[in-house]
């Protein structure tokens, strides 16, 4: 006991099994939450960028049929498209189908188109906010898990203290230090998750708003088209 | 497919971040202060006897010395014999011989007596020493009790350092109660001295001393000097 090594490794390997389990859980949660954080960052940035690009091409005066055809080709080549293209694609397809029927009531056409776009929108929103619930639960739960490990470790170290006649700080300090690692790990997992969750929730909100605005604008264009006939 | 790629990249980044953090911890985490070896849990408070015990040398019985008086008397006799005539010489010599024998016997007697008393004295001395050792043993056990009680009651101030030492003198009464404490040798730190005094006052009464023989108490425990020194501290 006297040659006690206070390095992190020694503290972790000397910890009791439960505390070690807690630490392992927290480490795993931290790894997973970082995976989510990076993946979401890539995904959301990509979504925002592709939205801007699509908006640019959309408002550049390109023929909508041409755009739709391009998207169709792209879908056949690379599988289903993501983001705002999907909304546009779904809406335009529905519009075309309804408009090609002979006695198409303009209101019915618009209603069908809006519905199709709404469905596509909610799909897109779902895609945007995948994994965010996981980040939220890591953010809120991992401090508690860490705290549990710490409380358990401190409990044990105080129980050891009861056996000692002359209690000095040095008899409890290693145990408490060891136990506090669990809290540190909990916070280490939680803090990035909280930040990322808040940031991504805001970003999803923004992108979603953009999609909705776009779908309304697109709907108004189609509306003009269907009523001008 | 872009989805899969982004997940792969995310996994890589996440693992890299964690490896970095763990590596940084492993490399940079050195306890800044060296771990101090744990001292025994008790504070050492050793009792100091101010007058060191004299080592008594056991006197071995000394060999009887040759009596110078005897020689002188023999010479006297010889002179007397020379003065007297040869007729008386033989009788005188006989007488002298007899006297000498008597003298010798007396001397031997005295010698024996002397050796006996010497032996008795040595014996008594040895016994006294054995008694003293026994006393020491008992006294030591009481000292240990006092020491333990004092160290239990001693709460050291934060300013206490390893090399400090304070010697106090406790005045005790036969019930074991502490009636007075004086600092004989200050450590130089007022808080430390006061903590030592407080330890003595907090111990208040050593009930164990009531079982002690009164004369031993008078001799050894009326006043007890205790040295306090925090050996188990790091600084």
The residue with tokens 């007058």 is B51
* Residue B113, pLDDT score: 93
Which secondary-structure segment (H or E) carries A150?
A: helix A132-162
Residue B196 included in any domain: yes
CA distance A121 to A210: 11
Transcribe chain B into DSSP letters: -HHHHHHHHHHHHHHHHHHHHHHHHHHH---SSPPPPPPPSS--EEE--SSPPP-PPPPPPPPPPPPHHHHHHHHHHHHHHHHS-HHHHHHHHHHHHHHHHHHHHHHHHHHHHHHHHHHHHHHHHHHHHHHHHHHHHHHHHHHHHHHHHHHHH----TT--TT--EEEEEEE-TTSBEEEEEEEE--S-HHHHHHHHHHHHHH-B-GGGGGS-HHHIIIIISEEEEEE--TT---
Residue A3, pLDDT above cutoff 50: no
> Is B187 within a domain?
yes
pLDDT, mean over chain B: 80
Compare B63 and A3 and report the one with higher pLDDT: B63
**Rounded CA gap, A215 and A83, in Å?**
12
Q: Mean of the pLDDT values across residues B64-88?
A: 75
Is residue B61 scored above 60 in pLDDT?
A: no
Cα separation, A134 vs A32, whole angstroms: 9
pLDDT value for A39: 92
State residue B29's pLDDT score.
61
Give residues with Cβ within 8 angstroms of A228, minimum separation 6: none
Residue tagged 């006043």 (tokens): B223
Asked whether residue B235 is domain-assigned, the answer is no
Comparing CB atoms, the residue among A7, A38, A188 nearest residue B29 is: A7
Average pLDDT, integer, range A189-210: 94
Beta-carbon separation of A42 and B6 below 8 A:
yes
Q: What is the mean pLDDT of residues B146-167?
A: 83
Question: Distance between CA A208 and CA A202 in Å, rounded?
Answer: 10
Q: Which residues pair with B227 in a beta bridge?
A: B46, B167
Report DSSP state, residue A102: T
pLDDT over 90 at A141, yes or no: yes
B138 domain residue, yes or no: yes
Cα of B31 to nearest chain A Cα, Å: 6
Name every chain B residue with its beta carbon within 8 A of the beta carbon of A39: 6-7, 9-10
Contacts of B1 in chain A (CB under 8 A): 78-79
Query: Looking at the domain assignment, is residue B234 inside a domain?
Result: no
- Mean pLDDT on B33-52: 58
From the list A5, A8, A165, which residue is nearest B41 (CB)?
A: A165
Mean pLDDT along residues B29-39:
57
Contact across the interface for B151 and A30, Cβ inside 8 Å:
no
Pairing of strands B45-47, B223-228: antiparallel
ipTM greater than 0.85, yes or no?
no
pLDDT band at B34 (very low <50, low <70, confident <90, very high): low
| A9–B contact, CB cutoff 8 A | yes
Range of the domain at B17: 10-228
Q: Is B2 within a domain?
A: no
Question: What pairing do the DSSP bridges indicate for beta strands B45-47 and B166-172?
Answer: unpaired
For residue A146, give the H/E element and its range.
helix A132-162
Angstroms from B213 CA to nearest CA on chain A: 31
CATH number of the domain enclosing B185: 3.30.1150.10
Report the alpha-carbon distance of residue A227 to residue A107 in Å, rounded. Answer: 9
Residue A1, pLDDT above cutoff 60: no
Rg (chain A; Cα; Å): 28
Q: Cα–Cα–Cα angle for B156, B159, B164, nearest 5°?
A: 75
Q: Please write the tens of the pLDDT for every residue from A14-43.
A: 888 899 999 999 999 999 999 999 999 999
Q: Do B1 and A8 touch (CB under 8 A)?
A: no
- Which chain B residues are within 8 Å of A171, Cβ to Cβ? 38, 41
Q: Is the confidence at residue A146, as pLDDT, over 50?
A: yes
CA distance readout (Å), A87 to A48, A125, B28: 14, 11, 52
- Confidence band, pLDDT 50/70/90 cuts, at residue B15: very high
For residue B19, list chain A residues with Cβ-Cβ distance below 8 A: none
Judged against a pLDDT cut of 80, whether residue B19 lies above it is answered with yes
Q: What average pLDDT score do residues A101-116 get? A: 84
- Among B3, B34, B156, the residue to mutate for chain A (most A Cβ within 10 A): B3
State whether B18 and A46 contact (CB < 8 Å): no
- DSSP lists the bridge partners of residue B154 as none
Task: Spell out which residues of chain B touch residue A2, defining contact as CB-CB under 8 Å.
Answer: 37-38
Residue from the list B14, B29, B41 with its beta carbon closest to the beta carbon of A8: B29
Residue B48 has pLDDT above 70, yes or no: no
Question: How many domains does one find in chain B?
Answer: 1
Name the phi and psi angles at B138, rounded to 5.
-60, -45
| pLDDT digit string, tens, across residues B93-106 | 888 889 989 999 99
Give A38 or B49, the one with higher predicted confidence.
A38
Give the residue on B whose Cα is nearest the Cα of A161: B41
pLDDT at A134: 93
The Cα B7–Cα B120 span in angstroms is: 104
Q: Which pLDDT belongs to residue B1?
A: 47
Q: How far apart are CA B81 and CA B88, in angstroms?
A: 8
Q: Can you read off the two tokens belonging to residue B84? A: 């007297």
**Whether pLDDT at B66 is above 80:** no
Is position B93 within any domain? yes
Contact residues on chain A for B160, CB-CB shorter than 8 A: none
Q: What is the pLDDT of residue B191?
A: 85
Least confident of A44-53, A147-156, A165-174, B132-141: A165-174
The residue written with tokens 């200050």 in the block is B186
Band (pLDDT 50/70/90 cuts) for residue A2 is: very low
How large is the average pLDDT for residues B134-163? 83
- CB within 8 Å: B43 and A166: yes
B10 contacts in chain A (CB < 8 Å): 34-39, 42
In a domain, B162, yes or no: yes
**Where does the pLDDT of residue B72 fall: very low under 50, low under 70, confident under 90, or very high at 90 and above?**
confident
């Amino acid at each position: 006991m006297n040659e006690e090594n206070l390095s992190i490794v020694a503290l972790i390997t000397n910890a009791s099994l439960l505390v070690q389990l807690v630490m392992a859980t927290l480490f795993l949660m931290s790894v997973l939450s970082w995976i989510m954080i990076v993946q979401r960052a890539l995904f959301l940035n990509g979504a925002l960028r592709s939205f801007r690009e699509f908006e640019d091409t959309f408002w550049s005066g390109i023929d909508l049929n041409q755009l739709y055809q391009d998207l169709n080709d792209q879908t056949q080549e690379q599988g289903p498209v993501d983001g705002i293209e999907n909304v546009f694609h779904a809406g335009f397809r529905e519009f075309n189908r309804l408009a090609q029927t002979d006695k198409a009531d303009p209101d019915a056409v618009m209603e069908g188109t809006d519905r199709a776009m709404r469905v596509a929108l909610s799909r897109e929103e779902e895609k945007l906010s995948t994994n965010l619930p996981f980040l939220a639960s890591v953010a809120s739960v991992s401090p508690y898990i860490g705290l549990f490990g710490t409380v358990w470790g401190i409990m044990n170290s105080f129980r050891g203290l009861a056996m000692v006649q002359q209690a000095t700080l040095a008899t409890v300090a290693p145990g408490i230090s060891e136990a506090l690692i669990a809290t540190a790990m909990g916070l280490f997992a939680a803090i990035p998750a909280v930040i990322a969750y808040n940031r991504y929730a805001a970003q999803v909100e923004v992108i979603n708003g953009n999609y909705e605005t776009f779908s309304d604008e697109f709907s108004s264009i189609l509306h003009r088209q269907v009523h001008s006939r | 497919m872009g989805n899969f790629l982004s997940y792969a990249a995310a996994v890589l980044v996440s693992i890299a971040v964690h490896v970095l953090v763990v590596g940084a911890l492993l490399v940079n985490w050195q306890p800044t202060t060296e771990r101090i070896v744990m001292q025994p849990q008790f504070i050492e408070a050793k009792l100091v006897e101010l007058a060191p015990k004299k080592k008594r040398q056991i006197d071995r019985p000394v060999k009887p010395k040759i009596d110078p008086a005897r020689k002188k008397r023999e010479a006297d006799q010889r002179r007397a014999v020379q003065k007297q005539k040869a007729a008386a010489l033989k009788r005188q010599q006989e007488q002298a011989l007899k006297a000498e024998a008597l003298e010798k016997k007396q001397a031997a007697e005295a010698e024996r007596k002397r050796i006996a008393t010497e032996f008795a004295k040595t014996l008594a001395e040895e016994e006294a020493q054995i008694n003293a050792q026994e006393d020491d043993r008992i006294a030591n056990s009481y000292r240990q009790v006092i020491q333990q009680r004092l160290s239990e009651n001693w709460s050291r101030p934060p300013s206490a350092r390893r090399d400090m030492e304070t010697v106090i003198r406790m005045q005790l009464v036969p019930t074991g109660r502490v009636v007075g404490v004086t600092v004989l040798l200050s450590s130089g730190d007022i808080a430390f001295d006061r903590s030592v005094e407080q330890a003595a006052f907090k111990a208040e009464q050593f009930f164990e001393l009531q079982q002690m023989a009164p004369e031993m108490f008078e001799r050894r425990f009326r006043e007890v000097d205790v040295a306090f020194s925090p050996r188990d501290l790091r600084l």
